[in-house]
Amino acid sequence: MSMIPMFLKEMEQEAQTTRKMLERVPDEKYEWQPHPKSMTVQRLATHIAELPTWVSMGLTTGGLDFAVTPYQPEVITNTADLLEYFEKCLSDGRAHLEKAREEQLSEPWILRNGDHILQNYTRADVIRMTYCQIVHHRAQLGVFLRLLDVPIPGSYGPSADEH
């Protein structure tokens, strides 16, 4: 099996779980954070929603240089807008992946901050890292929601909140 159909299948499977998690974010808790070193709910949920665009970036650029392109997060303050933003980002990532060619996946992609190279990837590595980041940050959001006493949806089976 080629990699692109596998990546598309995984994207759709993870999107279902991500959507369920993002739907649970309470509008009144966007500024909440569990610790001063932690992200706010707003920042974390928005980052999760935007991550599918890293698939697009991985397929359409040779890398990212934080010194040249500083991170500018989208400002989202409610769950309806968060879900709309997620669907837009997901659609963008999916569209780029659907038109990608297998041979592109082995091309290099560099993550840097000026002269400091943070990571040498292939385009396929960027896609895998993106999916791992979605799962990682989604788990963080699950902890945040648990601390806020918000029932957690199941991810790869039922959660303790689902009977």
Say what the pLDDT of residue 162 is: 83
Q: Return the pLDDT at 1.
A: 67
**How high is the pLDDT of residue 70?**
82
- Calculate helix-pair angle for 123-147, 53-60, nearest 10 degrees: 160
pLDDT for 130 equals 98
Angle at 88 between CA 149 and CA 119, to 5 degrees: 85
> Going by DSSP bridges, is the β-strand pair 108-113/116-122 parallel, antiparallel, or unpaired?
antiparallel
Using 70 as the pLDDT threshold, list the residues of the chain that sit under it.
1, 163
